[in-house]
Structure formats: C-alpha cells, structure tokens
Amino acid sequence: MDRLIRAASVQFEHAAGDKEANFKKIDAFIEKAVSSKVDLIVFPECCITGYWFLRKLSRSELKELAEPVFDGVSSQALMKRSGDAGIMIGAGLLEISDDGTMYNTYVAALPDGRSYRHRKLHCFVNEHLSSGSDYTVFDTPFGFRAGVLVCYDCNIGENVRITALKGAQLLLAPHQTGGCRSVNPHTMGLIDRSLWDNRAEDRETIEEEFRGPKGRGWIKRWLPARAHDNGLFLVFSNGVGVDDDEVRTGNAMILDPD
C-alpha cells in the first residue's frame, strides 16, 4: 500500500425489510467515521434489507425488496454518501438484474464516483436468489487494491486465495454469522434470545456467549488464516443482535497478515 489506511468495521442490529431504519443507523456510523478520519467503512452483509428473514419470502416478495445496482435508490444513496463524506463505503442489499435474476449483493462505493458490486458466490438463503460467478477486485483512490467476499464465500479457502492472486491487498468480508443453527456440533449453535433482550441487566452472560464458540471462538478458528495465508488485510463486519429467529454475535474485527 502507498500510505497508511484508517479502516472501520461496523456491527449493528438491522431491521428486517426496513431500509429507512437501516439507513439511519448507517448514516450515524458514517458520521462517526468522518469525525474519526476514516478512509474505509465496512457494513455487514444485507444490512440495508435485513438478512435471515429472506429465507421465508416468496419470489414476488423478494422482488419488492430488491433493487437494481447501480441505478437503484440504495446504491445511489451509498454513492452520494461516499462522495459527500470522502470515504469508501461498503454495504449489502438485494439486487435484481435487468433479466429479473436476484442476488445477495455487496456494493462498494468510492469517493471518486466509482462503485463496484460483488454478487455472493455461495448464496443459499432463498431458492429464488442466484449465486454470483465472478470475483471482485478493484483499485481504490487510497493506493491499495480491494477485494470483496460475502460471508460463506470466505469459508472456502480457495475463494480468498483467488481474490488475493487477482491482486487484492485488503479484503472486505461482510457477514451475518454466529449464533447459527448447525448440523456440526463443533461449530456455532443458537443463542437464547432472552440473553440478548436482557443484556442491559446481565451483560456478562451475553458477552460470554458472544466471545465463546458460538461467536468469536468460531470466527477465530479460521478467519485469521485467510489473512495470514494470503498476505492480506481483512475487514470482518457482522450483524449483531436479533436476526429473525437467531442472534448474531458481532465481534467485528480488522485482521492484518500476521
């Protein structure tokens, strides 16, 4: 990289299907990022639309929620905010293409007016959403090349390796993970909703869950290896709190190659 970069990774509890409410939270974080002289801010997967509730929606309901990228309202809003704030902004939403195909898409808006998208390669949340087929790597005005992989994309080591081989020096890794149902008894597991609802009165219990094998313990088992083995920086952003009938575990972090 040509110079030092100041990056911010965000975790927040989104509202299912409420783009206006989610953009209010996004705007609050952007304001903090500007005051902290941040160059790059990374928001979670599908944070504009909400995520886990998508699995219950019909094709017509998904189409009502999805937007074109880059001409849609949300993409244009991200691009304007990026230009006004002078920082790079990444955030996730549902995309609908010209032929009606829908994707779990992540938009990276750059302050020089350019923007890029990554269609999640391993999209399984709803049968009416299609998986992307392209890797996403691009130059930034800050002197580094960035790549994007969304959530489960990062679980596949080859995806990160290919992204790095395409020149990425920093990986945007937006997620909605932790506290998930799993058929593997050694990965994650559900978190009792009451622990999250009662977090103000009992902070220690929910923090223990978030730091344990259902949250941080799960992420730290494999995500640092993606940065180390590929010699890149990795910005992990995640949802936190209620995500339909699961509880996301946050633990947003920035990893260096070491």
Integer-rounded Cα radius of gyration of the chain: 17
- Number of domains making up the chain: 1
Judged against a pLDDT cut of 80, whether residue 206 lies above it is answered with yes
Per-residue confidence (pLDDT) for residue 67, from 0 to 100: 98
| pLDDT band (50, 70, 90) for residue 188 | confident
Per-residue confidence (pLDDT) for residue 182, from 0 to 100: 77
Q: What is the pLDDT of residues 68-122, one digit of tens each?
A: 999 999 999 999 999 999 999 999 999 999 999 999 999 999 999 999 999 999 9
Q: Does residue 163 form part of some domain?
A: yes
Which structure tokens are listed for 72?
């849609």
DSSP, collapsed to helix, strand or coil, labels residue 116 as strand
Q: Does residue 2 form part of some domain?
A: no
The continuous run of DSSP H or E covering 21 comes out as helix 19-35
Residue 181 domain boundaries: 7-255
Q: Does residue 214 form part of some domain?
A: yes
Q: Does residue 126 form part of some domain?
A: yes
CA 173, 250, 65, 91 dihedral sign is: negative
| pLDDT band (50, 70, 90) for residue 21 | very high
Which structure tokens are listed for 176?
């909605």
- Contact predicate 243/1, CB 8 Å: no
Judged against a pLDDT cut of 70, whether residue 186 lies above it is answered with no
pTM for the complete prediction? 0.96
Q: What is the mean pLDDT of the chain?
A: 96
CA–CA separation, 186 vs 206, rounded Å?
20
Per-residue confidence (pLDDT) for residue 7, from 0 to 100: 97
Q: Does residue 1 form part of some domain?
A: no
Residue 145 sits in a domain whose CATH number is 3.60.110.10
How many angstroms separate the first and last alpha carbons of the chain?
Answer: 16
